[in-house]
């Protein structure tokens, strides 16, 4: 976390743990059903790709079509192993000739190291901006109103991107308005203080909960190399291009799309338990015959009273034929919820 920003957050009575800001002052460190809030996003890190070959380099490495980025939008994407398993998931956006990957902070270093291995003679510089920049999140209609009052050209459409006064502005909301702002601490401190009168301060559970409600996946270090993109529904939310050409794992991903049938997909679920679930926790089904188990937790948000909302990759036949338990057969049962978009399972005709 940026040192100046961490010092500023202390003046805001922030409680900081190994993930990021869990809560402020005496507020509970849990999410609730309210849409309007302001939060720190230090749980996310940022990689910058610059140089005249940056676009072609990333086009040959990522699952989505980097060439489609024109500086007015962001896109979800992933970086896969040769076996098609996701090593990193992120939101990518472009400003001029530079590209930025916003991803879970605990995957930044490994992603940068691996991609650096393939730069070779290309004119590409990869810079970790996680400690040099600040990321904040704003949610709800009150966030839209507060940003409008600052006369910032915040994009109004989903996945829109704009930049002014060295502030990157992303609109990532769907059913609920949500914005990510990225800049230096000295740029975002006064902005934070301007909008906090309109927005209550919340921790990362509130942001995770909004991701879960919209079924937007995020691969943290614990889940690296566990899923192909379709398992976390990336093909259903425009996170994969099937016409862009080659990238690591492309043959596996394309074969699933054109020749196979998806056997596991990501679901929303709710669970009540005294033992907090965490990413990569296993799931159990008595109906599962897979040696890989019934599934695995992807994202977790804590609500009050031992209530947790999660995203999880689960064997489809197990969901359709019986109960899904957290950890083992004696674990609490998951309540499977609707996903706010359709997930294609059959191969493309």
d(C-alpha 279, C-alpha 43), whole Å: 14
Query: What per-residue confidence (pLDDT) applies to 19?
Result: 94
In 115-136, which positions are buried (b, 16+ CB within 10 angstroms) versus exposed (e)? beeebeeeebebebbbeebbbb
- Tell me how long the chain is: 349
Query: What per-residue confidence (pLDDT) applies to 347?
Result: 64
Instruction: Read off the tokens for 216.
Output: 């937007």
Low-confidence ranges of the chain (pLDDT < 50): 349
Query: What per-residue confidence (pLDDT) applies to 258?
Result: 80
Q: 276, exposed or middle or buried, with CB in 10 Å at 0-12, 13-18, 19+?
A: exposed
| E runs forming strands in the chain | 14-16, 21-24, 37-40, 44-50, 74-80, 86-95, 98-104, 125-128, 134-139, 161-164, 167-171, 178-183, 201-202, 264-272, 282-284, 295-302, 307-315, 325-326, 335-337
Which CATH number belongs to the domain containing residue 231 in this structure?
2.40.30.160
Quick one: 205 and 233 in the same domain? no
**294 domain-assigned:** yes
* pTM of the model as a whole: 0.94
d(C-alpha 272, C-alpha 275), whole Å: 9
Quick one: 13 and 79 in the same domain? yes
Instruction: Read off the tokens for 296.
Output: 């695995």
Residue 112 sits in which domain range? 1-215
Structural domain ending residue among the three candidates 215, 248, 274: 215
In tens, the pLDDT along 204-237 reads: 999 999 999 999 999 999 999 999 999 999 999 9
Structural domain ending residue among the three candidates 215, 237, 272: 215
Query: What per-residue confidence (pLDDT) applies to 219?
Result: 98
* Residues linked to residue 310 through DSSP beta bridges, in sequence order: 269, 300
**349 domain-assigned:** no
Query: What per-residue confidence (pLDDT) applies to 1?
Result: 87
Structural domain ending residue among the three candidates 198, 215, 232: 215
* Backbone torsion region of residue 40, taken as left when φ is above 0, otherwise alpha when ψ lies between -120 and 50, otherwise beta: beta
Quick one: 14 and 105 in the same domain? yes
**342 domain-assigned:** no
Quick one: 204 and 255 in the same domain? no
In tens, the pLDDT along 269-289 reads: 999 999 999 999 999 998 787
Quick one: 192 and 237 in the same domain? no
Quick one: 147 and 251 in the same domain? no
Query: What per-residue confidence (pLDDT) applies to 174?
Result: 83
Quick one: 239 and 197 in the same domain? no
Quick one: 277 and 205 in the same domain? no
**208 domain-assigned:** yes
**347 domain-assigned:** no
Say how many domains are in the chain.
Answer: 2
**345 domain-assigned:** no
């Amino acid at each position: 976390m940026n040192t100046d920003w961490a010092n500023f957050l202390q003046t805001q009575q922030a409680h900081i743990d190994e993930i990021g800001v869990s809560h402020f002052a005496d507020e509970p460190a849990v999410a609730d059903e309210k849409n309007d809030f302001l939060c720190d996003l230090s749980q996310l890190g940022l990689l910058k790709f610059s140089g005249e070959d940056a676009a072609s380099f990333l086009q040959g490495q990522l699952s989505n079509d980097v060439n489609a980025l024109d500086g007015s939008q962001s896109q979800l994407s992933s970086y896969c192993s040769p076996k098609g398993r996701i090593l990193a998931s992120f939101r990518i956006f472009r400003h001029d000739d530079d590209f930025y990957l916003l991803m879970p902070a605990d995957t930044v270093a490994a992603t940068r190291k691996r991609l650096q291995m393939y730069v070779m003679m290309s004119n590409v510089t990869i810079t970790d901006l996680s400690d040099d920049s600040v990321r904040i999140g704003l949610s709800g209609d009150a966030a839209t109103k507060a940003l409008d009052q600052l006369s910032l050209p915040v994009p109004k459409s989903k996945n829109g991107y704009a930049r002014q006064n060295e502030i990157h502005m992303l609109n990532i909301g769907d059913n609920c308005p949500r914005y990510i702002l990225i800049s230096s601490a000295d740029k975002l401190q006064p902005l934070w203080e301007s909008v906090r009168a309109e927005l209550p301060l919340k921790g990362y559970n509130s942001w995770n909960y909004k991701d879960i409600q919209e079924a937007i996946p995020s691969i943290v270090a614990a889940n690296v190399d566990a899923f192909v993109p379709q398992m976390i529904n990336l093909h259903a939310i425009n996170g994969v291009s099937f016409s862009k050409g080659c990238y690591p794992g492309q043959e596996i991903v394309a074969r699933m799309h054109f020749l196979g049938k998806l056997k596991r997909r990501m679901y929303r679920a709710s669970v009540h338990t005294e033992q907090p679930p965490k990413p990569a926790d296993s799931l159990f089904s008595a109906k599962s015959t897979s040696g890989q188990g019934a599934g695995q937790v992807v994202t977790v948000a804590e609500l009050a009273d031992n209530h947790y909302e999660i995203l999880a990759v689960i064997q489809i036949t197990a969901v359709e034929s019986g109960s899904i338990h957290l950890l083992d057969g004696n674990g609490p049962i998951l309540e499977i919820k609707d996903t706010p978009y359709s997930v294609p399972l059959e191969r493309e005709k």
